[in-house]
Amino acid sequence: MGPIINTIIGAGIKLGVVLLNSWIESKQQNQLLLAARDKQMVDAIINNQQQQASDPFVKMTRRVLFTAITFTLCYLMLYYAMNPGVTYDVVVPKGESHRWGVLSWIVGGKDYDVIKMTGGLLLTSFFDLCFMVIGFYAVPSKRR
């Protein structure tokens, strides 16, 4: 009786392994299909970006925006250097609502303070943003 039971156990193990392998293979096929679809989507996006990058209208728009932002920044720097007495009233959240930053307007901060800032100080707080935008428009992307 022992060899028959061992044969049945061996056949059961073999059947379990076959079922497990087929399940793993179907999962792998699904992943390969998703990867192929994702690759096609990425290729389509890259082709679209290459076509847009070579479009003369896009090139001209980027140059105009870069020039406008750069000249505006330079003008404001000179203006505030020549007129250091220019001040602005800035509304900022007070108390616990300050931790939300800009979102405190939406989240519902209740207390606000009005502070005075000089034009130069206000401009320096936006320098990082200005240079980021200028760099975005000025540096062409060659990565494809």
Could you state, in order of their start, the residue ranges of all structural domains in the chain?
56-138
H or E segment and range at residue 90: strand 87-93
Residue 140 has pLDDT above 50, yes or no: yes
**In the structure encoding, which two tokens stand for residue 64, read together?**
């105009």
- State residue 144's pLDDT score: 47
83: three-class secondary structure by DSSP: coil
Closest of 76, 87, 83, 64 to residue 126, by C-alpha: 76
pTM comes to: 0.48
State how far Cα 11 lies from the chain centre.
Answer: 54
Q: Do 119 and 83 form a contact (C-beta atoms < 8 A)? A: yes
Measured distance between the N- and C-terminal CA atoms of the chain, rounded to whole angstroms: 69
Query: Mind listing the pLDDT tens digit for each residue in 97-116?
Result: 556 666 666 666 667 788 88
pLDDT of residue 19: 84
pLDDT of 35-92, one tens digit each? 888 888 888 888 877 777 667 787 788 888 888 888 888 898 899 889 888 898 887 7
DSSP 92: E
Q: How far apart are CA 115 and CA 90, in angstroms?
A: 5
Q: Are 79 and 51 in contact (CB under 8 A)?
A: no
